[in-house]
Amino acid sequence: GAVVSQHPSRVICKSGTSVKIECRSLDFQATTMFWYRQFPKKSLMLMATSNEGSKATYEQGVEKDKFLINHASLTLSTLTVTSAHPEDSSFYICSARDLQIGDTQYFGPGTRLTVL
């Protein structure tokens, strides 16, 4: 099946620093990728839609200057959490849309961000 990877799997950083998370579709090309965040015992919340070669589309309430998304190639999207604060600590998950196999989304393993 289609595989999506994320790097790093976990990161701990100090407040005020920026953190970049990579999402890669390993065996298919994805013109569209998505970024979610998930708090403990809660459901996934869609943050933004990442489109290859164009600007990301952010969901209501998500600060685009805080969460920078870049989708430079058909297999890579990055999420940068700028000037991270403790309230940004969360589980960040990406997904990639595979249009070749029934328009199915495949998810990465997630990245645990802890901001001290």
Partner 1 sequence: LAKTTQPISMDSYEGQEVNITCSHNNIATNDYITWYQQFPSQGPRFIIQGYKTKVTNEVASLFIPADRKSSTLSLPRVSLSDTAVYYCLVVVSSNTGKLIFGQGTTLQVKP
Computed on alpha carbons and rounded to an integer, the radius of gyration of the chain in Å comes to 13
Minimum separation from the CB atom of position 63 to partner 1 (A): 18
Please report, as ranges, the residues that interact with partner 1 according to CB under 8 A: 1, 4, 6, 32, 34, 36, 43-46, 49, 51, 57, 91, 93-95, 97, 102-110, 112
Minimum separation from the CB atom of position 108 to partner 1 (A): 5
Minimum separation from the CB atom of position 31 to partner 1 (A): 10
Nearer to partner 1 among residue 4 and residue 115 (C-beta): 4
CB of 32 within 8 A of CB of 20?
no
Strand ranges inside the chain, DSSP E: 4-7, 10-13, 19-25, 32-38, 45-51, 57-58, 67-73, 76-81, 90-98, 104-107, 111-115
Picking from 10, 3, 52, the residue whose alpha carbon sits closest to that of residue 28 is 3
Minimum separation from the CB atom of position 70 to partner 1 (A): 17
Nearer to partner 1 among residue 2 and residue 82 (C-beta): 2
Nearer to partner 1 among residue 22 and residue 82 (C-beta): 22
